[in-house]
Amino acid sequence: MILGAVVVLPRVERSVSRDSTLTAAERLHAAGDRLHFDPRPFDAFASTLSPRTRYAVDVPPGERGPFITRGAVVRAYAAFYFLPAIQVRRASRVFRYRFP
């Protein structure tokens, strides 16, 4: 896990930024766009976070796919999108997301 975070992830990020035809903003939102998430709430909340800030996610379960609910997908996406902040079950800072 540590090897991936220290060695592999930076290489992948460099390759994506060098070889991608997407702009920086398009790269930032590419995964969320494919999941049909509205990027505005994610961007607004991310702008208020600092590294190691603890936050919770408030999202309804939403539709159930073949394996997990849409709410679980939002939680997983938020965990990566808001890095290096830390997602926890309960916190004074809460990201709220509602499906359209």
pLDDT tens-digit series, residues 30-42: 888 888 899 999 9
- The ranges assigned to domains in the chain are 1-28, 35-100
Summarised one tens digit per residue, pLDDT across range 42-99 is: 999 999 999 999 999 999 998 888 888 999 999 999 999 999 999 999 999 999 999 8
Judged on CB neighbours under 10 Å (0-12, 13-18, 19+), 67 is: exposed
What's the whole-model pTM score?
0.74
Residues in contact with 79: Cβ distance below 8 Å, sequence separation at least 6, in sequence order: 87
pLDDT computed for residue 98 by the predictor: 93
pLDDT computed for residue 23 by the predictor: 81
pLDDT computed for residue 34 by the predictor: 87
